[in-house]
């Protein structure tokens, strides 16, 4: 019997997992276990203990994509190329689904749109990560004031695979800001971008001072 073509591919790289990659795979897998059209794609290095552990966790319809690049855009593009799913959900290895995230997302995707920004909540595990969460909340109003394109991030961003391909995917020249460049290109092309605020993922905030200072200096 031929396997069903995936409708949604959940894509995230292993780098910067903040110790959460295995938990993230387990959480997404639990939500997808009764849905043959849901696929998990993890992108990471070919060798090492962590990739081996993640490979063992993945189900038969999931994929582990080998890519040794340190360029985030290249990692996500590699994941996108590895699936035939209609929808690509870009997220991070330190992001967890909340209750019924996948179910709610599939319901919302019945609407006419090319892409959507998911809602997010915070999981702060230390005082430093609480600072990171607070900074993000302080930045959010000014980001929203610029337009929804500025809210596109890799915590939770879903886009039709054909649209992603037509727009050339993430431009690797922009490294960790490639999703912002893509969002600008998306809106300029006339494709519809919406917010699914009721479809929420939980972001494990950073306890790295270097990451916090980078966000303060350059933005997100």
User: What's the structural domain count of the chain?
Assistant: 1
In a domain, residue 24? The reply is yes
**For position 48, what pLDDT does the model report?**
85
Return all residues near 59 (Cβ < 8 A) that are at least 6 apart.
29, 32, 33, 40
pLDDT tens string 84-110: 999 999 999 999 999 999 999 999 999
CATH of residue 15's domain is 3.90.550.10
In a domain, residue 154? The reply is yes
User: 92 versus 127: which is more confidently predicted?
Assistant: 92
In a domain, residue 207? The reply is yes
pLDDT tens string 104-124: 999 999 998 999 999 998 776
Q: Which domain holds residue 145?
A: 8-218
**For position 176, what pLDDT does the model report?**
86
- In this prediction, residues 19-31 reach a mean pLDDT of 96
In a domain, residue 3? The reply is no
In a domain, residue 2? The reply is no
């Amino acid at each position: 019997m031929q396997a069903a073509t995936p409708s949604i591919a959940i894509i995230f790289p292993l780098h910067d997992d903040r110790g959460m990659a295995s938990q993230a795979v387990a959480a997404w897998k639990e939500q997808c276990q009764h849905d043959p059209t849901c696929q998990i794609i993890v992108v990471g290095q070919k060798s090492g203990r962590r990739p081996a552990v993640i490979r063992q966790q993945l189900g038969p319809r999931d994929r582990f994509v080998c890519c040794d690049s340190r360029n985030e855009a290249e990692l996500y593009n590699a994941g996108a190329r590895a699936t035939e799913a209609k929808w690509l959900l870009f997220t991070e290895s330190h992001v967890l689904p909340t209750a019924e995230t996948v179910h709610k997302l599939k319901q919302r995707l019945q609407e006419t749109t090319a892409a959507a920004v998911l809602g997010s909540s915070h999981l702060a595990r230390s005082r430093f990560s609480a600072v990171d969460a607070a900074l993000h909340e302080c930045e959010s109003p000014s980001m929203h004031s610029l337009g929804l394109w500025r809210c596109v991030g890799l915590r939770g961003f879903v886009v039709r695979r054909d649209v992603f391909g037509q727009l050339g995917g993430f431009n690797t020249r922009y490294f960790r800001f490639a999703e912002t460049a893509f969002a600008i290109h998306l809106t300029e092309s006339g494709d519809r971008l919406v917010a699914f605020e009721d479809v929420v993922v939980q972001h494990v905030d950073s306890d790295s001072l270097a990451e916090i200072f980078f966000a303060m200096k350059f933005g997100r």
